[in-house]
Structures are given as structure tokens and as C-alpha cells.
Amino acid sequence: MKLMKFLLPAFCVAMLLVPALPVPEFWITQLNYIGLYATVSLGLVLLTGVAGLTSFGQAAFVGVGAYTSAYLTTAFALSPWLALFVGLGLAVVVALLLGALTLRMSGHYLPLATICWGLALNYTMANMEFLGKYDGLLGVPALSIGDISLASGRAMYVLIWIVALGAAIAVTNLLDSRTGRAIRSLKNGTTMAEAMGISTFQYKLLAFVLAAMLAAVSGWLFAHFQRTVNPSPFNLAKGIEFLFMAVLGGVGHVWGAFTGAAVVKLVEDQLQVLLPALIGTSGNFETIVFGLVLILVLKYAPDGLWTFVKGWVPAPQRVRDWADAAPLAARDHPPRGELLLDVKKVRKQFGGLVAVNDVSFTIHAGDIMGLLGPNGAGKSTTFNLVTGVLGLTSGEVVFRGHPVAGLPSRDIAKLGMSRTFQHVKMIPEMTVLENVALGGYLRTKSGPVQAMLKLDRDEERRLFAEAERQLARIGMVDKMHELAGNLALGPQRLMEIARALCTDPSLLLLDEPAAGLRLKEKQALADVLRQLKAEGLSILLVEHDMDFVMGLVDHITVMEFGTKLMSGTPAEVQASPEVRAAYLGTEH
């Protein structure tokens, strides 16, 4: 972080000094294109690299920005600065519409959809009479700021690089924020993020809109730099090229966008001369080369060229600046003994399989309830019904007086239920502290604009103080700066508990927290749970290991084949011949 902190301003100053130096005009033009391309591929870093949404259609948004300004300034003599805002507004509207239609698609459908709308937007530009069809629009005016004209390449250089570097700083700030962590959580499936209260669709849409805005700004600069627009720079091949830049540079990294844009632009110029000479006819052969290299990069260096840089850039370590931060607001917790959770005849069928068969139980505040049963008994499914991860076939769940059956898990999380997962769900490339901070999502509120301008630092300090406090509660402070993906399973499970605690839950739900742990880790976990119980926390503990549960819980509900076998105190359950039979029957 320290090195990066120094590198970033140094790079910005160096880039902005270039036009004052005796750099030949040719290189100024090259750098202008690199700045323009980097701005677009920065959007793809956010969208594809960070959020995991692949778009081949980004060039179309560049076209929206370019054409809007070219048309409004030539046909209506509108000020280019006003036209910028119209273009941005249009890009946002188009992105919201396309995003609402396509971002719910999964797997390969989304990239295919981006190809479709990329083509559609490009054909629209190329076939509209008022946009000059394939000839485009000529005579786009130069930009000016007051009396200063930006007609020269050098003057445009300054504006292009202020925009590109400003965008890079804004995106860097964004990624290190509440909003950024929400966007970073999108790539690994949505279940965990939703359980932390994050509306994953909303953040996919946000990433999509921000990427479209970056493309549109670049298009606007492009139109007034070239002083003419036509459809070809905004076609699908260009869309693929932008993606190629982002992937080649390192699609998860802000500076990868710049590296990729520079390499692609410079190599492209060489190839455009070299390839037709080699092949003997003219054509855009460089696109084919890029396509092949893209496949190789994805296979051998999925982190792009950044893979080779990462080795000598130290892992980011957060400066611990939150020692005196005020605590986050806390929830009103129910008094001990109050009915907290009332599960009434919940049922879940998967086709013909009744995974959960009209199961009922209650939890009172301050209790630890164990949900026990052999593997496949329906414990996790019951758990998912209660927390809203799965929809119920029938039944009712009442939490603190609110009927919650059928609500999405993020709305149930708002009411004070928080959970861990049987198979740990985390963001491996985030630190332990950042993963835990995800749990504080609903207790904080700063948005993307505050994040980009770094106006969220006070709230961030309060959030990280809380995350550290929760890590201390489970005895893991010493690991807070480690990458979550580097931890062993035991600490990962504890980290999930800290993340759940960071939501300030009234009911903590743990799905087989001891599974896969070594004996020592199990003992450490049992100590943590005993301590949480002593602090008055209510817990629903799903477990198949009977011995682990016995010394911990107040009540036990036993399930077998989806049905509730019995419920009672640990002593009653232990004495029950049915329970013994169920366990012996499956374990031997």
C-alpha cells in the first residue's frame, strides 16, 4: 500500500508533464489514444475483472458518448460540455435498460447478450440518416475551456489524461470502500453477499452503469479529438479489443487497464503494417492475432501482465487508523427468554424428494439450539429455508414477530439474522479484515460517489474498528491482514463467524461449523461458542457431530429423513432410543 501510495502520484505527475517536454507529436497522439482506451478498459476492469461480468459490447457505449456530442454540437451548435452530460445521461439510460434485461442472465448468456446489443447499437449508429450513416458526422468542433482552445493534440492530451488518471484514482478509491467490497463480492456467487444484506443485482447494475459512463466519456473525448465520428471505431471488433486490453493488462487491476491499453495500441500499429505485408492483402488481421493471444493469456496468465508485476508489489496492508473510531450503531436485541424464532411446519420439496417435511421448532432469546441429524437429514435445507436462501414449499417462519417466509435473504438479514455456510463462502482475494467488514454492510451506508471522493473514511474507520473487534472476539486479530484464501479451513470458519457477528445479529446461525476441523480447532471453536453464549447471544447450531453439540446447547431438535424425530434437552436426546437408532443406523 505504501509503495502504491507513492507510485500513483508519481505516475500522475509524470504523465501530466509529458506535453511540456519535447515529445514528438506522433507520441502525443499515441498517448492520447492510450489514455482514451485505458479509460474504457478501466470500466472493464470494474465490470469484468472485479464484478465478473464479461462485456464485448463496450465499444457501443463509446459510440453513444461520441455520437451524442458529435450530433448535438454539429446539428444544434450545443456546447460540447453540455453535450457531454447529455451523452453520459444517455449512456446511463441505455445501460440501465440493457442491464435490467441482461444482467440477471448467468454463465455464457451475458457475454452473448453483450455481443447482441453491441451489434444492435452499432447498426443503429450506422443506419440513421441524421447520424450520417456509414460516413458519420464531420466537422465536430474542438473543445475549449473559456478562451483556451483544445484544438491541438497537446492540449487534448492534458484533458484526456486528467480524465483517465482521475478515473483511475476514483476507481481505486471505489474498490476500497463499502460499495467496492460489495462489487468485489459479486464474482464468487451471490448467496453470501445476499446473506450479508447486499442486493447483488443492484451492484451488478452499478458496475455496468459505471463502465458505460467511462466508455461514454472516452467517446466524447474521442469525438472532439478526432473532430469526426463514424461507426467503425465503435463496432464489435473494437469491443473485443477493449476486453482484450483489460484482460491482457490484468483484468482485476486498475493499472492493468493502462498497461493493456498501451501494449495493445503500440503492438496494433506494428501489426497493421506488418500483417498485410506478410499476408499480401489488406485487412484487419490484427484482430485475429489479438483473439488468439487472448485465449493464451486466459489460459496461462489469467491475471494478465499484472501477474508478473504482482510479485514485487507488496500485498496491500491496511493502515490501522481506526483506534479511536466511534462504534457503529447497534441493534435493540430482544430480552432473554423472548420468543425469537418460530418455525412452523416448514416444508421443502425438490421434485419428488421431500427434503424437509413439516418441521417445527422455536428458539428463545439467549438460547443455543442444536439442529442435529445424520448427513442428508435436511438440516442445511431447513437452515436455508429459515434464512431465505431457499424458498419454502409451505410453512411459516416468524422472526421477532415478523413473518419472514418468502423474503429474500438480504431482507431477513436486515431483521437481525446472520449465518455462516456449511461450505465456507468468502472472497479469497480480500483480507480477513475486509471479509469480516462485509458483515457490517447493513450497518453502514456510504455510496459510490462518497467512496470515489474518499468522503467515506470516517465510516470506514468505524466499520474496520468493528470488524477488528469481532475478530478479537473470536481470537483472530493476529490474522486480520492475511488474505482470506490463504487461511486453513479452521480459521476460515472462524472468520465466517466473525463476519456474521459483524452484522450485530440477534440470532446467529451456524451450519456445521466444526465440519472438517482438527480436534484442536474444534476445541477452539467450542470455546468461542461457549463465550458467545455467555455474552447472551442466541444461536442456532446445525451439526451432525453429537459429541460436539452436547456440552454446548440448551435444546436439541433431531431430524432424520427430512422429518423431526424429537426435540428436548441434551440429556433427553441422549437417552432417546430413536435418536440412538438413527445415528447408529447411518454411521454403521
**Segment interacting with Mg ion, rule: CB under 5 A, options 55-63, 290-298, 372-380, 481-489:** 372-380
Q: Which does 408 bind (CB under 5 to 8 A by kind): Mg ion, ligand ADP, none?
A: none
Q: CB-wise, 22 or 352, nearer to ligand ADP?
A: 352
Q: CB-wise, 73 or 381, nearer to ligand ADP?
A: 381
Q: How far is the CB of 389 from ligand ADP (least distance, A)?
A: 10
Q: How far is the CB of 564 from ligand ADP (least distance, A)?
A: 12
Q: Which does 378 bind (CB under 5 to 8 A by kind): ligand ADP, Mg ion, none?
A: ligand ADP
**Segment interacting with Mg ion, rule: CB under 5 A, options 304-312, 332-340, 419-427, 571-579:** 419-427
Q: Which does 370 bind (CB under 5 to 8 A by kind): ligand ADP, Mg ion, none?
A: none
Q: Are 564 and 557 in contact (CB under 8 A)?
A: yes
Q: CB-wise, 248 or 372, nearer to ligand ADP?
A: 372
- 449-469: b or e for each residue (b if 16 or more CB lie within 10 Å)? ebbbeeebeebbbbbbbbbbb
Residue 370 binds to ligand ADP (criterion: CB under 6 A) = no
Contacts of 556 (CB under 8 A, 6+ apart): 369, 370, 371, 372, 549, 567, 568, 569, 570, 573
SS3 call for 145: strand
Q: How far is the CB of 349 from Mg ion (least distance, A)?
A: 17
String of contacts with Mg ion for each residue 374-403, x by CB under 5 A: ------x-----------------------
Task: Give me the residue label for grid cell 445501460.
Answer: 95
Vertex 43: Cα angle to 38 and 48 (nearest 5): 115
Of the candidate residues 373, 439, 448, 570, the single one contacting ligand ADP (CB under 6 A) = 373
Instruction: Please state the three-class secondary structure of 481-509 as a single string.
Output: CCEHHHCCHHHHHHHHHHHHHCCCCCEEE
Instruction: Please state the three-class secondary structure of 9-42 as a single string.
Output: HHHHHHHHHHHHCCCCHHHHHHHHHHHHHHHHHH
How many of the chain's residues bind Mg ion (CB under 5 A)?
2
Q: CB-wise, 434 or 511, nearer to ligand ADP?
A: 511
Q: Which does 381 bind (CB under 5 to 8 A by kind): Mg ion, ligand ADP, none?
A: ligand ADP
String of contacts with ligand ADP for each residue 323-362, x by CB under 6 A: ---------------------------x--x-x-------
Q: Where are the beta strands (DSSP E) in 137-236?
A: 144-145, 148-149
Residue 378 binds to ligand ADP (criterion: CB under 6 A) = yes
Residue 380 binds to ligand ADP (criterion: CB under 6 A) = yes
Q: CB-wise, 65 or 378, nearer to ligand ADP?
A: 378
Q: Are 446 and 179 in contact (CB under 8 A)?
A: yes
Q: Which run of H or E residues covers position 279?
A: helix 254-279
**Segment interacting with ligand ADP, rule: CB under 6 A, options 114-122, 240-248, 360-368, 379-387:** 379-387
Q: Are 56 and 118 in contact (CB under 8 A)?
A: yes
How many of the chain's residues bind ligand ADP (CB under 6 A)?
11
Do strands 402-403 and 507-511 pair parallel, antiparallel, or not at all (unpaired)? unpaired
Q: Which phi and psi angles does 408 have, rounded to 5°?
A: -65, 155
User: Angle between the 200-226 and 25-44 helix axes, to the nearest 10 degrees?
Assistant: 160
SS3 call for 248: helix
* Chain residues in the site for Mg ion (CB under 5 A): 380, 422
* Chain residues in the site for ligand ADP (CB under 6 A): 350, 353, 355, 373, 375-381
